[in-house]
A and B are shown apart, each in its own frame.
Chain A
Amino acid sequence: MIHTIIKKNSYQDSINLMLLTNAVSSIEGVNKVQIMMGTPANKDIFKDAGLYTEDLATAESNDMAIVIDTEDESKVDEVLEKADQYLKDQSISGGSEAFETVRTWDRATKALPDANLALISVPGQYAAEEAHKALDLGMHTFLFSDNVPMDDEVALKQKAHEKGLLVMGPDCGTGILDGIPMAFANVVKKGRIGVVGASGTGIQEVTAIIDRLGEGVSHAIGTGGRDLKEPVGAITMMDGIKALENHAQTDIIVIISKPPAKEVRNEVVELLHGLSKPVVTIFLGEKPTKHEGNIYQAYTLEETARIAVDLARDKEIKKNYADGDYTVEHAELAEGQKTIKGLFSGGTLASEAAVLISDALGLGSEITNVDGYVLKENGHEVVDLGDDKYTQGKPHPMIDPETRAKFIEKAAEDESTAVIVLDYVLGYGSHEDMASALMPSIEKAVATAKENGRTLHVVASVCGTDNDPQSYQGHRDRLKEAGIIVKDSNNEAVRTAMNIVGLQVEDPEKELVPYEASKQFDLSVSEEIKSLLNNKPTIINVGLKSFTDAITAYGGRVVQYDWRPIAGGNEKMRKILSLLK
């Protein structure tokens, strides 16, 4: 029996509601439950889940819809009670906070008149509008929101560039600004390495390794994954690079990018050649054979971090950083066990795995993406479980173990599977203990394989630092105790997995060759950008309240803007309001 409860005008953020759905799903006697705002898109998700009802049709965008499938009517009240308690606890925990909470830009700017950065995490269809407002108020913008149309991204970045501002994003998952972890980010020591990255977990992996090797990061500026695509033309990356060039405390610049558009990439590289500082680049999917001028070209994220650290320490740059021990002794394999299943929460980590395996298979290093599968060759599979395909109406796999647990169990049933590769991404925003959350399904998978006479190997890396909210060492220990092979980086984990099935990649010896820069660039930046890099940012957090935790913990000043759709999502009133300006 399906029960529908509509709570009129009670807007909650979608992530809150997903976590809430998780919390109430565990109630015994409840077959299925889904709690979402009654937007048209969400109604489709209800339909897909077989939870669409006539009552649901009446729900509007600002109404919270709770649909419960249970045979026991008394469970409905239990769910409602638990939901109310959950939401109440959330509002009470806001009782004595170190920051003000507001509901309008007006109040936000009054509460924090010197705010210079807006951290925006509102639903995608509203994100561009809010970002425009932030830019119009003269603020740099960190746009965590995804599903922002390309046209909007271009318009925002052009406007920002003209105003001397930075737009980090859209779909910018991470960043570090003067030691403050932004959105999903690790707690990384401050230091002399500056990062600009068009890749979320790429930045996390590189900065976390830098930290673990004992060096630190001045700033890590995320650009959003499409910045190096043709229409955008790397506006943010180029401005970010110039910003770091002008930043006195940055000595080394690291560039991380998912596969870029070729011309845009070349333009960025030309700019980099014109800098006074040494640069380490990684364009995922490229396998460089040399270093050129001031640019050191890396193949893996680990190599990127290690070159940067060696540069920071004035050490000689090695010709080859693929010097780890990737062997596994006595790796038992049954007949037919020969494939790798890479199940990743981090998109760039998945891509890195795909590049390595594809390279080892002799298929080149180009990355494709079909339904989140960044590799599907000869039975080998690498999936980015953070892809849109798997996050519609569900929390990201860094927050929620459910989707990945299912993939692990499925991989174990596949007789060809020899090894599963996993990433554990720690830091602000991520699950508090993913090691434990995924453990039951890993144990089950290993046991299933064993019952069928197979040894299933699991290799993992932990992307984290000692100062992360979760325990880095604790994660590693917990995984090792469970018989999982734990490596120091994703690169090592993937190479180790390949070793088990007898695959390996060749790494060229890279010589440093001179380079004659052919193009002159104006390297100056605006006062606004200088000020952003020379101070701790002062932030208006528009949307997800949990992002304020890291900001306040690392000395940033912040005002929380509890954002809701304008006029409750009422399109007619929204239009009238825009006319009555």
Chain B
Amino acid sequence: MKYNSIDEANKAVVEKIVNSAPFLVDVVPAKSKIKELNEGKVILHAGPPIQWDDMTGPMQGSCIGASLFEGWYEDADSAEKALANGEVTFIPCHHVNAVGPMGGITTANMPVFVVENRTDGNEAYCIMNEGIGKVLRFGAYSEEVVNRLKWMQDVLGPTLSKALKLTDDGMNLNVMIAKAITMGDEFHQRNIAASLIFMKEISPFIVQLDMDEKDMKDVIQFLADTDQFFLNIAMATGKAVMDGARKIEEGTVVTAMCRNGKDFGIRISGMGDQWFTAPVNTPQGLFFTGYSQDDANPDIGDSAITETFGVGGMAMIAAPGVTRFVGAGGFNDALSTSNEMMEICMDQNSNFTIPTWDFQGACLGIDARKVVETGIEPVINTGIAHKEAGVGQVGAGTVRAPKECFEKALEAYAEKLGLI
């Protein structure tokens, strides 16, 4: 090891996180950045590797929807058959510099945000948020869903791409996150402030574009309606920053957390690309009328990259407005949640100071050793999908990362260092 101690290596990792410079620079079809998507029928999915038979309902539904969107099959039935027959290759988003919410299903022609981390020169990608209701990420694949995806491909994506090119330098995401965290966002459950900031920043450029007036109105309306629009940008940001930081290749800082509905997977800085998995938990929370805990799909999605980055559930205290979603105790519960999360983190990120936390910085660098030592599992704020494909979101709440992942990671790292 080129560091004198694990503490020193971990410090180097978190230093990279703090010094990262993520910028939103473009929106492009996924295939133009991810070469694997050009090699036959390929679907990217959330979480550690998984095959069709092991996927839960929402992820399977998303695969069907994506196949229809790409025009690979005539209808849902034939798509499902083909998927079950192994005609499509599955790759985790994380393996190709991408992240995806819920099912995380991403295919060649879907537009993705491009976030560039300028300190390390790496990029990360994430599809755009489709809004709420019947949406692909929760497994819906009706005509309405596919049509919206087409519109995003044809109108929303190109419009944002052009508008971003009019900016000098792209959008400085650290600045946007720093502003929004003081406005009550934690970037997983709540993104309304950041989404507004995004809209405020991008609108002056959109209105300069030479484009169809109705399309322009539709784009502005969509951005105005989509409270969680920034979530996917925050995810790509987290991915870009954590991928930059894990170039250190030593230490026990958690560099990714993700779920595929079956397994929860983590990576730590000292173990490179290797996943350490354990069965996922099922989120607990509040449900929309007519639904209950029994309808909840097990934990799913790459969005836990926000918690890996130190926001989301880790920064619960920043978002008093949504604490009721995650526990009846309100503000004090949020405070104790964030205080508890500090127990398993290396430090605090002075880039993102939280007014409701006496201007302490957001959590920085989950140390897998501390997770195992204390048994405190990272908390993740999450939407809850219905376990059947196509029903969509039925609630929101929290879920914990299973500590077995962290135990396995430490054991592997100790082996790698020749300590056991």
Contact = CB atoms under 8 A, between A and B. Distances in A.
B252 A580 contact: yes
Contact of B342 (A107, A568, A576, A577): A107
B369 interface: yes
A577 B343 contact: no
A564 B374 contact: yes
Contact of A104 (B6, B374, B407, B417): B374
B213 interface: no
Interface string A553-581: 00000000000101110101101110111
B6 A581 contact: yes
A101 B332 CA distance: 13
Contacts of B343: 102-104, 106-107
Interface in B367-397: 369-370, 372-376
Nearest to A567: B372
A103 B332 CA distance: 17
Given A103-B340, A567-B375, A580 B332 contact: no
Interface string B404-420: 00010011011001011
Contacts of A567: 372-373, 375, 407
A430 interface: no
A9 to B, nearest CB: 7
B32 interface: no
Instruction: Give the interface centre of A100, A566, A572, A579 by most chain B CB atoms within 10 Å.
Output: A579
A95 interface: yes
Contacts of B369: 577, 580
Contacts of A568: 375
Given A9-B375, A568-B375, A104 B370 contact: yes
Instruction: Give the interface centre of A101, A570, A573, A581 by most chain B CB atoms within 10 Å.
Output: A573
Nearest to B343: A103
A95 B375 CA distance: 22
Given A579-B414, A579-B420, A580-B410, A573 B340 contact: no
Interface in A370-408: none
The dominant DSSP class at the B interface is: helix
B374 A573 contact: no
Contacts, number: 57
A62 interface: yes
Interface in B249-277: 252
Interface string B342-379: 11000000000000000000000000011011111000
Instruction: Give the interface centre of B374, B410, B414, B417 by most chain A CB atoms within 10 Å.
Output: B374
B292 interface: no
B5 interface: yes
B419 A580 contact: yes
A566 B371 CA distance: 10
B410 A103 contact: no
Nearest to B415: A576
Nearest to B419: A579
A431 B6 CA distance: 47
Contacts of A573: 372, 407, 410-411
Contacts of B411: 572-573, 576
A567 B419 CA distance: 18
Contacts of B374: 103-104, 564
Nearest to A92: B329
Interface in A86-118: 95, 100-104, 106-107
A576 B420 contact: yes
Contacts of B420: 575-576, 579
Contacts of A581: 5-6
A139 B5 CA distance: 25
B372 A577 contact: yes
A576 B369 CA distance: 9
Contacts of A107: 342-343
Given A103-B343, A573-B407, A576-B420, A564 B375 contact: yes
18 contacts: A62-B375, A102-B343, A104-B373, A104-B374, A107-B343, A566-B373, A567-B375, A567-B407, A573-B407, A575-B420, A576-B411, A576-B414, A576-B419, A577-B369, A577-B410, A580-B6, A580-B369, A580-B410
Given A102-B339, A575-B420, A579-B414, 4 more contacts: A103-B374, A107-B342, A573-B411, A579-B419
Interface of A: 9, 62, 95, 100-104, 106-107, 564, 566-568, 570, 572-573, 575-577, 579-581
Q: Which 6 A-B pairs have the closest CB atoms?
A: A579-B419, A103-B343, A568-B375, A576-B414, A104-B343, A103-B374
